[in-house]
Amino acid sequence: MKPIFTIHAGEYLVGDEIEKRFPNSRVWIPAKDTGIDLLVTNNNCKSPISLQVKFSKDFFGSRKKTAATENLKSGGWWQFNKSKIENSPADYWVLVLYQFQTRLPDFVIIKPTELLKIYDKISNAKLKIQSYVWVTDHKNSQCWETRGLKKIDQIKISEGTFISDERNLTKYLNNWSCLEKLND
C-alpha cells in the first residue's frame, strides 16, 4: 500500500517543536511542493510564516571520536542548489540536525537571503553548495559552517576557540524569535 500523504522527519520535528514552543500556533502542510514545507499561523490563522525545512542525519553519532569531533553534539551535511536559495519563497529556512546519541534535534533558523550571504562569503560555488554544519557540546553550544576548514580549525571549533564571523551560525541556533508574533 502506498501512502497518499507523508511528511519527512525534518518537517515533523520542526512542526512538533513549533507546537511545543507556540501552543496557540497552527502548522499547515502544503498540498504540493512549491518550495515551502510548512506554513505557520497564529490561532486565528493570521500572521503567516513560511518555512523551508532541510533535514540531515547526524554524521558524528556513529563514528569514532577524533580531536576535531570530540566536543560536538551533531554535524549535518547538505547539498543545496544555489538558485533554490536565491529564489526561495520561504520566509525562513530551517536546517535540522538530529543528534544520534540523544535523539534530540537542533535547529538553524535563518532567512534564505542571510544563508546565501554566508555561503557567498565562504564559497565560490556557482550552482551547488556543499554545506557542513556542526553544533558543539559546550555549556553554550555554538554552531559553525565548517565546509573547507583545515583540520586545525576543526579542532579549534571542538575546543571552543575558533573565531570567524562569516562562518558563525550560533545566533541562528535554536533561535525561534522569528515566530514570536504567533503569540499575538
Number of domains in the chain: 1
Report the pLDDT value the prediction gives residue 181, as an integer from 0 to 100: 83
What value does the mean pLDDT of the chain take? Answer: 89
CA distance 93 to 35: 10
Residue 181 lies in a domain: no
91 is written with which cell numbers? 520566509
Does 3 score more than 60 pLDDT?
no
Report the pLDDT value the prediction gives residue 167, as an integer from 0 to 100: 96
In which residue are the cell numbers 535563518 written? 110
Domain that holds residue 159: 9-173
State mean pLDDT over 70-80. Answer: 89
Give Cβ neighbours of residue 171 (< 8 Å, ≥ 6 apart).
none
pLDDT bin (cut points 50, 70, 90) of residue 1 is: very low
pLDDT bin (cut points 50, 70, 90) of residue 169 is: very high
Residue 183 lies in a domain: no
CA distance 45 to 8: 24
Q: By three-state DSSP, how is residue 119 classified?
A: helix
Cβ count within 10 A of residue 5: 6
The answer to whether 118 and 167 are in contact (CB under 8 A) is yes
State mean pLDDT over 158-163. Answer: 92
State mean pLDDT over 25-53. Answer: 92
State mean pLDDT over 62-91. Answer: 86
Residue 101 lies in a domain: yes
Residue 106 lies in a domain: yes
Q: By three-state DSSP, how is residue 92 classified?
A: strand
The tally of CA atoms less than 13 A away on the side-chain side of residue 43 is 5
Residue 179 lies in a domain: no
Q: What is the pLDDT of residues 25-37, one digit of tens each?
A: 999 998 888 899 9
The answer to whether 147 and 133 are in contact (CB under 8 A) is no
Lowest mean pLDDT among 27-31, 87-91, 180-184: 180-184
106 closest CA partner among 146, 144, 49: 144
Residue 88 lies in a domain: yes
Report the Cα–Cα distance between both ends of the chain, in Å, rounded. Answer: 42
H/E element holding 26?
strand 26-28
Residue 180 lies in a domain: no
In which residue are the cell numbers 542571510 written? 114
Report the pLDDT value the prediction gives residue 59, as an integer from 0 to 100: 74
Q: What is the pLDDT of residues 91-140, one digit of tens each?
A: 999 999 998 778 889 999 999 999 999 999 998 878 999 999 999 987 88
H/E element holding 11?
helix 9-21
93 closest CA partner among 55, 129, 45: 55
